[in-house]
């Protein structure tokens, strides 16, 4: 039971969880609930013959902690439950869903996205996966109507770099645009609602999400990235929390924000800090040379800052 970011699993209570990152304690896995059994839910699982609803947040997970208090822990990310592996009864891997997608979705806009990524940008098909509701069989109603878009994951650092270098051509091929102002406003309100607005600037951080494809008004597809097995770096959290910390600095290396956890390096005077966050909404939140205000926890090593609480954040100052 080895898990990677964006894998899903189903527990014995028929709750579908999304895996967070790559660094899991023995016999447990960091993941948070996405789909819950609900007789009145708008999603229907053909295999399980029951309805589900989507109810998810990687910010607090208060509901799941109340129902399953043994999921609590003291690690980073503190707000993501730790699920015992012996409660898991089914696992879903994004790469394993592509074959089904290619068979069933050839007449959709999502197949066009796949074609542009795979054929025109020369990303190997084995390095492309499908995650989200489509992966776990919960993207449609009982009558077969598509409830949600289809989410793509791309494996590998080189493939991520290749797509970033060619994002303009990808948008052109799809007749798409970068993330729209309307979508930025929507996500800023949705994700930033619980965060302190004085130390965050979601309108700016979300605008830097280069892998977001605005296919048409109201329809956004954001490509997510997963490390290949041979690429997974060592855990960036190597020491305990020392204190709450705030610092202004310049972004030196933004590439880690494409993966989970989101990581980037900032410099203040002659000292460098590695900023780490597991929050979903901070994908590609900064770019090189940004002047940023970082609020988080400074760790005992004196060089790691974790953004792991609603009273933490990233504010772009330039």
Span 181-212, pLDDT tens digits:
999 999 999 888 899 999 999 999 999 999 99
Kindly report, residue by residue over 8-30, the tens digit of the pLDDT.
999 999 999 999 999 999 999 99
3-state secondary structure of 300: coil
- pLDDT for the residue numbered 237: 98
- Three-state SS at 240: coil
Cα–Cα distance, 47 to 92 (Å, whole number):
14
Q: Is 199 helix (H, G, I), strand (E, B) or coil?
A: helix
Grade residue 149 by pLDDT with cuts at 50, 70 and 90: confident
H helix and E strand count, the chain: 8, 18
pLDDT at 166: 95
At 147 the pLDDT is: 82
Instruction: Decide: 166 and 121 in contact? Cβ < 8 Å.
Output: yes
pLDDT grade, residue 144 (50/70/90)?
A: confident
Distance CA 141, CA 50 (A): 11
Percent of the chain with pLDDT over 70: 100
Q: Which two tokens stand for residue 42?
A: 């708008």
3-state helix, strand, coil in the chain (%, to 5): 30, 30, 40
- Which residues make beta-bridge pairs with 222? 212
Question: Could you give the dihedral angle defined by the CA atoms of residues 241, 247, 249 and 251, in that order, rounded to the nearest 10 degrees?
Answer: 40
Question: What is the pLDDT, as a whole number, of residue 121?
Answer: 82
Tokens 């902690």 -> residue:
65
**Contact (CB, 8 A) for 6 and 94:** yes
Paired sense of beta strands 304-307 and 271-277, if any: parallel
pLDDT reported for residue 191? 86
Q: What is the rounded distance in angstroms from the CA atom of residue 44 to the CA atom of residue 140?
A: 6
- What are the backbone angles phi and psi of residue 274, rounded to the nearest 5°? -100, 115
Q: What is the DSSP letter of 201?
A: -
Tell me the DSSP string of 298-309: EETTSSEEEE-S
State residue 148's pLDDT score.
76
The region, left, alpha or beta by phi > 0 then psi within -120 to 50, assigned to residue 120 is alpha
> pLDDT tens across 240-287, in order?
999 999 999 999 999 999 999 999 999 999 999 999 999 999 999 999
State residue 146's pLDDT score: 86
Contacts of 53 (CB under 8 A, 6+ apart): 35, 36, 38, 40, 41, 42, 43
Distance, in Å, from the CA atom of 242 to the CA atom of 278, rounded to the nearest integer, reads: 19
User: What average pLDDT does the segment 75-79 reach?
Assistant: 96
Cα gap 172→155, rounded to integer Å: 23
CB 16 within 8 A of CB 51: no
Q: What is the pLDDT of residues 79-134, one digit of tens each?
A: 999 999 999 999 999 999 999 999 999 999 999 999 999 988 899 999 999 999 99
Condensed to tens digits (0 to 9), the pLDDT of residues 39-53 reads 999 999 999 999 999
Average pLDDT, the chain: 96
The confidence band for 1, taking pLDDT boundaries of 50, 70 and 90, is confident
Indicate the length of the chain as a whole number.
318
DSSP-derived secondary structure letter, 232: P
Q: Give the C-alpha separation, 8 to 265, whole Å.
A: 29
């Amino acid at each position: 039971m080895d898990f990677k970011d964006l894998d899903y699993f189903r527990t014995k209570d028929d709750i579908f969880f999304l895996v967070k990152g790559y660094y899991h304690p023995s016999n447990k896995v960091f993941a948070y609930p996405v789909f819950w059994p609900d007789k009145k839910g708008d999603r229907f699982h053909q295999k399980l013959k029951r309805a589900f609803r989507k109810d998810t947040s990687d910010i607090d997970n208060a509901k799941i902690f109340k129902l399953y208090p043994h999921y609590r822990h003291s690690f980073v990310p503190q707000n993501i439950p730790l699920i015992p592996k012996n409660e898991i009864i089914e696992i879903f891997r994004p790469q394993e869903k592509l074959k089904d997608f290619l068979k069933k979705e050839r007449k959709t806009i999502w197949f066009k996205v796949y074609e542009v990524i795979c054929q025109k940008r020369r990303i190997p098909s084995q390095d492309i996966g499908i995650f989200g509701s489509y992966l776990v069989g919960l993207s449609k109603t009982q009558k077969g109507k598509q409830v949600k878009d289809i989410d793509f994951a791309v494996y590998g650092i080189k493939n991520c770099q290749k797509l970033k270098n060619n994002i303009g051509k990808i948008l052109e091929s799809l007749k798409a645009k970068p993330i729209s102002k309307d979508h930025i406003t929507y996500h800023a309100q949705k994700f930033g609602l619980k965060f302190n607005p004085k130390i965050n600037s979601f309108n700016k951080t979300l605008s830097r999400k280069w892998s977001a494809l605005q296919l048409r008004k109201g329809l956004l597809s954001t490509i997510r990235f997963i490390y290949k097995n041979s690429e997974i770096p060592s855990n960036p959290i190597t020491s305990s929390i020392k204190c709450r910390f705030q610092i202004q600095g310049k972004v030196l290396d933004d590439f880690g924000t494409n993966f989970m956890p989101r990581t980037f390096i900032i410099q203040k005077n002659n000292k460098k800090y590695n900023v780490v966050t597991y929050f979903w909404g901070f994908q590609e939140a900064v770019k090189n040379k940004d002047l940023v205000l970082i609020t988080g926890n400074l760790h005992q090593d004196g060089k790691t800052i974790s953004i792991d609480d609603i009273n933490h954040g990233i504010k772009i100052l330039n």
